[in-house]
Structures are given as structure tokens and as C-alpha cells.
Chain A
Amino acid sequence: QSVLTQPPSMSAAPGQKVTISCSGGKFDIGKKYVSWYQQVPGTVPKLLIYENDKRPSGIPDRFSGSKSGTSATLDITGLQPGDEADYYCGTWDTSLSIAVFGGGTKLTVL
């Protein structure tokens, strides 16, 4: 069971917007930065958002992140078929003293 809670699956049509949530607690998201990773099936996880809301070079601005209190969200606008992937949130758990991930959200672009 993951420390961070994400919806197992979401779906939306091309061109639409989707918001993936990541819920934690006062010892993890409540104290630390959140990152997001995209894993297209059969490939390596890729850093999508770091330090709550920053995008690495090469990540389109259709992807955005935010954090409030003990929760974080990943917004994807203008959905494309290539966005179909698993999305994971991650942070540091100060009580466990280890990095932790959410269980992942499988995004289907209909």
C-alpha cells in the first residue's frame, strides 16, 4: 500500500483536460516538494514535474503541477494520444526517511 494516494485510473478524450490528484499527509507532501513521473507502457519513468510546479527542459507546458497543504495535482491540457501512460507522484516521507511514490494513475485517452 502506497504512502501517497492516487486514483487508479482516469480517462478523457483528446483535446480535453485531466487533473490527477495525489494525496499525502503532514510528514510527506505537507513538508516536502512533490515530483511527477510519466511512464509510457514498456518504457522508463520520466520526470515530468519537479519541485511541485517546475518542468524539465523539453516537457511541454500542457503539463503543470501544483501543491496545496498535503495534496498535489498534475494537470494535463490538450490531451493527446501520446499522453496515454501511467503517472506517479513522488515525495520524501520525513517519518520513514525515504522517498515514496503514489500507486500510480493509468490515464487512457479515449
Chain B
Amino acid sequence: QLQLQESGSGLVKPSETLSLTCAVSGDFIGNNDYGWGWIRQPPGKGLECIGIAHYGRATYYAPSLRSRVTISVDTSKNQFSLKLTSVTAADTAMYYCARHKSQVDWFDPWGQGTLVSVSS
């Protein structure tokens, strides 16, 4: 059974870098039929796709975040990572990782999510 589990710092200072990792079990992250995505949800608000990475292929980022975000895939550890630089309070959110089905564009399954707060 495929499972995803986020880990990383839950508290980040303004202007610093948010770093999260999503460990994948039950599937090989190098499977070319799927991408690996990060989605966030600010408190009380809706879902926003941050980006989707594919092993050996293109990585797609939300235009509003492209200048600050990097998503990378590590097949040796079967995990993928998110780095978001120069964070502000507006980046406070629940961050989810999820598997993305390429071409038909659905996300399943999702990780449990990790709350990241940006505060000094």
C-alpha cells in the first residue's frame, strides 16, 4: 500500500528557508507514470499546488512561487523534497505531499500533512 509521510521543521523564521521531505513507501519514486507534488493549505483557506516533480523529467512550479521554490526527487532514498526560500507569514500553512497521476492530473494518495508556521 502506497504511503507518503512528510517531515521537516514546523517553525521557520521570516526570510529563512522552509525545508520539507516526503518519504514514499510502497512504490518506486522513479515510476514515470507519476509525479510527486507538494500542496499547501493556509489555515482556513483552500488548496494550492506548489509544484510537481518527475524523476528524470520536467518539474512544474506554481508561477507565483517559482522564484522561491525547488522540488527535488531522490531515488536512492525514495523521497522527494521541498525548499521554499525567503519565507514570510503568508507561507504559514499545512503542507501536504501527494502522488500526481501524469496526463490525467489527480492526486492520490496524500500524506498526513505537516503544519509549518513562519514566525520569529
Contacts and interface: CB of A to CB of B under 8 A. Distances in A.
Interface of A: 2, 32-33, 35, 37, 44-47, 50-51, 56, 88, 90-92, 96-104
Contacts of B111: 44
Given A45-B107, A98-B61, A99-B105, 15 more contacts: A35-B105, A37-B107, A44-B96, A45-B47, A46-B110, A47-B109, A50-B104, A50-B106, A51-B106, A96-B63, A97-B60, A98-B51, A98-B52, A98-B60, A98-B63
B61 A104 contact: no
27 contacts: A32-B105, A33-B104, A33-B105, A35-B106, A35-B107, A37-B47, A44-B113, A45-B47, A45-B96, A45-B110, A50-B101, A51-B106, A88-B47, A90-B47, A90-B105, A91-B105, A96-B62, A96-B63, A98-B63, A99-B37, A99-B52, A99-B100, A99-B107, A101-B47, A101-B49, A102-B46, A104-B47
The number of chain B residues touching the other chain, given as a range, is 20 to 34
A53 to B, nearest CB: 12
Interface of B: 37, 46-49, 51-52, 60-63, 96, 100-101, 104-113
Interface of B is mostly: strand
B46 A56 contact: no
A34 to B, nearest CB: 9
Given A45-B96, A88-B47, A103-B46, A98 B108 contact: no
Contacts of A88: 46-47
Contacts of B46: 2, 88, 101-104
